[in-house]
Each structure stands twice: as C-alpha cells, then as structure tokens.
Amino acid sequence: MDLKLSYLPRLPRDKSSAIGCIGSGFIMADCHLVAYRKAGFNPVAIASRTPAHARRIAERHGLTAYDTYQEMLASGNVEVVDIAVPPDAQIEVIKNVCKHKKHVRGILAQKPLGVSYQQAKEIVQLCRRAGITLAVNQNMRYDQSIRACKSLLDQGLLGEPVLATVDMRAIPHWMPWQERQGWVTLRIMSIHHLDAFRFLFGDPIRVFASVRPDPRTAKKFAHDDGICLYILEYASGLRCSSWDDVWTGPALEGADKDISIRWRVEALEGIARGTIGWPDYPHPTPSTLDFTTTKHPGYWFSPRWKEVWFPDAFIGTMAQLLVALEDRAEPEISGQDNLKNHGPRRCLLSLGERAPSGGAEGSDAKEIRANCGMQIAEWQRRAVQWKKHDRAPT
C-alpha cells in the first residue's frame, strides 16, 4: 500500500519571529527550547521567578536572560511569548503581556489555561481585546502516533469510528503547585486525553465520569481526582473512554512495575492501536502505531518514526502559533477552542458542584454547554436531586 501518513506538524515559512520565554523549569528548559532549536525557531530571551536559574538556562540555550519577565517584555525585543508557569500564576502574566500589544503578536500559554472555566474565558477575552493571538500548549495532539491516527481517519482507511479508548497506567512527576490546588490527574493528564479525543473525533455531546483519590498521592495531600475513568458520548454513536490510573498498583512500594499508555480506535473498516512513549522519558522512545483495514485484508501495517513526544511534539505547539500569525488565522489550538476542554473537565470534576440550589441552569453552565456542545443541564439537575436525597442520580 502506498501509505502517506501526515504525522508531523506544518512549519511556518518564516521561522525568525523572536520568542521570549517566561519560566525556566524542566518543561521549558528540556522540552520547549530543545524542540525550538531543533526546528530552527528563534527563541531569544528568558526570565523566571528565579533569575539565577534563568541565567543558567539562558547560557545553555544561547538566550538573553532578564531579571524579570516585565523587563523582558519592556525591551521590545520579543514578538511571541512562550509561557510555562503554574496555572494559578498564568492569568497575571498574561495581563502583563497584553500591556505590550504594540510588539507582542502571539502567546503560547500552558494548559490548563486557567484554574477555572471563568478564568480561562477571561484570558481569552484579554488577548482578544489586545489583538494578540492566543494558543494553548495541548501537546499530546502533536504526539506522532496521535497525528498518524488522525491521518488514517482523514484518509478513510478506518471508516466510521465506533469505539476509542486510552488506557494509562503511569506515574507522573507531580509539581509542587498541584498541592496548593488540590489537583492530581484531571487537569494534568486527562486534559491530554480529552484534547486528543476532540482532535480525532470532534466535540462530544455528553461526558460521564467516576474519580477517586490515588492512594500514594493521598499520603502527601488531599485530592479527589487521582484515578479517573470517563466516557465521552458522540451524536454519531461513537464512544470514547479513558482510564487514567496514576496509582498502577504498589509499583513504588515494592511490587514490580507495569507501566504503559496504550490507545485504540475501532472503526467499521479498520482498527488502529498504539502506544505512547512518554513514560520512558528521558530514554527517547517513539510512540507507535499499528493498524489493519478491510481495504487490505489480513495484514497489520506498522509504520515507525524516530521522533518522540518529549521534546519533539513541542515543535508542533509553537509551529501552529507561528503559522497562524503568518496566515493571519486562528491557531489550531486556539484559546477559544481550548475553552471546550474546560467544559468536559468541569463535568468530570463534579457534575453538580456549582448547580444553583433550585436546580436551574446558571449562566456559567449555559456558557459551558454552548462552548462544548455537551448537554450537562440535565446532569446538573440530577446532581442537585442527588444532594437532596443522598443518593446517586438516576
């Protein structure tokens, strides 16, 4: 079969836009900047809350270091701002960036975009009013296996999707800021899978979920969303489900490890399955794709590549912003589109956590439903009844 998989991102024609970086932690130093240099992009400056660390990263990557990001912005030397700070600090940074709209044309923000849907919406509005193009670093959709699967779907090699699943058994490295937020999996890992499902199949009409704490992380801080199971329902009949398990059994307590992230798409004319190489980091392990199709019966195709999610997928997240600026178009992972990821996460966190006492749908819920295309009003009503009668919604 003459197979042409589009698994790499489109790159801008002009790679010279000056990129200023805010934040100098692992994700910036070892992923963003490594990817940008590999792609030939033009990062020129960096600042972080720890100037000495920013200077070390600047020396490593050939950048100019500033004591504060405000000084970097005021220099007038950056056109695109790449932000890698904790989510509860991001809105204040973006407010400051928007003050420099005369020379800043684009922002690549971190996910989650805000600590709440309303805050994410405010960030989108701030950038729109300033005339600054906003994109959000949803990098799993630039994992090579996910983009290759999208290419198969677009070429019609699999036919109509029926069932798609992600099975994550992995133990991420948690960030200190998660403890003050009480966050574990939904906003850190599940956000990738939700966005990947939306990238592959579009927006669902309903989301159902069950969560519980991770026993290991619960010893460190209280949280609800350690192990997360959820189902996305689509109008076509397609069902997507992810099991996001950061416990994985007593893998750090003496038992042997069984770590992996696997995905699968079953369709009317084919099956695609893959693995995500990220859990092996820092050992560079490419993600994989295998597929079979009724168009070529009795055979499994196994295309392979050398690129890896960390750091190569971060070429894609910056590239799509630079392409959008070049084409005067919306980014593929625009802030406005990213609001649709906040709606599912809010449903997952609690179907009725902010439902009005009378069960009526509030303005925030209406906006989420409008943005996501998800019918959550009925679930909010049921959740209110659940609270009243101390039983599960029916």
Predicted confidence band at 341 (pLDDT cuts at 50, 70, 90)?
confident
* Residue 206 token pair: 């309903």
Instruction: Tell me: pLDDT of 384 over 50.
Output: no
| 82: Cα separation from own chain's centroid | 15
Domain ranges of the chain: 18-139+313-334, 141-308
Cβ-proximal residues to 354 (8 Å cutoff; 6+ apart), any chain: 362, 364, 365
The CATH architecture of the domain made up of 18-139+313-334 is 3-Layer(aba) Sandwich (3.40)
Burial 167-191 (b: 16+ CB within 10 A, else e): ebbbbeebeeebeebebbbbbbbbb
* Residue 176 token pair: 């200190």
Cβ-proximal residues to 84 (8 Å cutoff; 6+ apart), any chain: 21, 22, 23, 25, 27, 28, 32, 110
| 213: Cα separation from own chain's centroid | 21
DSSP characters for 323-376? HHHHHTS--TTBHHHHHHHHHHHHHHH-TTTT--TT-PPPHHHHHHHHHH----
Average pLDDT, the chain: 90
Instruction: Tell me: pLDDT of 351 over 60.
Output: no
CATH topology of 18-139+313-334 equal to that of 141-308?
no
Contact predicate 148/316, CB 8 Å: no
Please confirm whether the linkage preceding 112 is cis (ω < 30° from 0): yes
Contact predicate 351/379, CB 8 Å: yes
Average pLDDT over residues 31-44: 98
Q: What is the pLDDT of residues 52-105, one digit of tens each?
A: 999 999 999 999 999 999 999 999 999 999 999 999 999 999 999 999 999 999
Predicted confidence band at 367 (pLDDT cuts at 50, 70, 90)?
low
CA distances (Å), origin 260, targets 51, 139, 143, 244: 37, 18, 15, 11
Predicted confidence band at 317 (pLDDT cuts at 50, 70, 90)?
very high
Average pLDDT over residues 370-378: 44
Contact predicate 313/140, CB 8 Å: yes
Instruction: Tell me: pLDDT of 111 over 50.
Output: yes
Contact predicate 130/98, CB 8 Å: yes
Instruction: Tell me: pLDDT of 381 over 60.
Output: no
Q: What is the pLDDT of residues 199-243, one digit of tens each?
A: 999 999 999 999 999 999 999 999 999 999 999 999 999 999 999
Contact predicate 261/172, CB 8 Å: no
Q: What is the pLDDT of residues 253-297, one digit of tens each?
A: 999 999 999 999 999 999 999 999 999 999 999 999 999 999 999
pLDDT at 344: 56
Which one is predicted more confidently, 332 or 375?
332
| Candidates 3.30.70.890, 3.30.360.10, 3.30.1370.100, 3.30.70.20; CATH matching 141-308 | 3.30.360.10
In the sheet where 18-22 sits, what is the strand order? 64-65, 42-47, 18-22, 80-83, 106-109, 133-136
pLDDT at 323: 98
CA 211, CA 228: separation in Å to the nearest integer? Answer: 4
